[in-house]
Structure 1
Amino acid sequence: EINNSGYLAVVITNQPVIARGEISFEQLNEIHNKLEVLLGKEGAYIDALYYCPHHPDKGFEGERPEYKKICGCRKPSTGLIEQAAKDFNIDVSNSFMIGDSEQDAECGRKAGCKKSIRIATNGNLHDALKEII
C-alpha cells in the first residue's frame, strides 16, 4: 500500500548486533536481502534502508571496538532520517515515522515528522498505514 501512496518507504534501523560482534556486515546484508525478497513476493519494496551499526555499551564477548560509541545515527538520534532526507530530498515535516519502540517514536518527533506512529511488535502495519493513506 505504501508503495502506491506517493510516499517513499525508507527503513531506519538500529543494528547493534554489528557492534556487539554477533553478526558481520555480510550477514546483515543477507538479512536485508531476504527482507527485500519477502517483500517482493508480496509486491512491495523498500526505497532505501539505512542502519546504525553502533552500540554505546561495552562488555560484550566478541564486540567490535570501532563501533562501540555514542553516535548521531542511533535512534532516537535523527542522523539517519536527516541522511535519508538529504539523499532523497524528503520534506520531513510531511513524512511519517512508523516503528515498534518508543525510540522510534521519539526519533520521528525529534526529526520533525508530521506524525510518529508506534505499533506493537506484533502489531498490524496496515492499521498504521490507515492513519497515513
Structure 2
Amino acid sequence: MSKGVKGEIQGFKCYVLLDEKGEPAPVHSIASGLDYPGVGPQHSHLRDSNLATYEAVTDKECLDAFMALSRMEGIIPALESSHAVGYAMKIAKDMSSDEAILVNLSGRGDKDIDFVLDKVTL
C-alpha cells in the first residue's frame, strides 16, 4: 500500500507492486499472509478515499513486536498482526501518556512460534 501503484492483478483493480515489465513484482514478507504483491479492492478504496493510511515496518520490527507482546502481555500475535503492533510501538515513542493506540489483532500466533524462534535470539 505504501509503494504500490494502481493496477490489475488476478482480475481485479487494486494497488499492486509491479516490476519494470508491468508484471506483479516478486515480494517478501516475514508474514505469509502479507506475502502478496497486491491488496484487496476494499483497502484500495479506503486509501483513495483518505479513510485509512498504510505504513510499513521491517521484518525485525515485526519480530520485536511479536516477542514484546508475547512477553509483556502473554498474547501471542500472528505475524501479520505483529506488523501493526510494531508500527504502534514505533509511533508510541512520540506520544504523550494521555494518548492511546488501539491495535486490532487479526489472528493467533501459535502457528508462527516455531518460525519465529528460528529467527530470533532469546
Q: TM-score, normalised by structure 2?
A: 0.31
TM normalised by structure 1 equals 0.29
**Bigger RCO of structures 1 and 2 (CA < 8 A, at least 6 apart):** 1
Select the structure that is richer in strand: 1
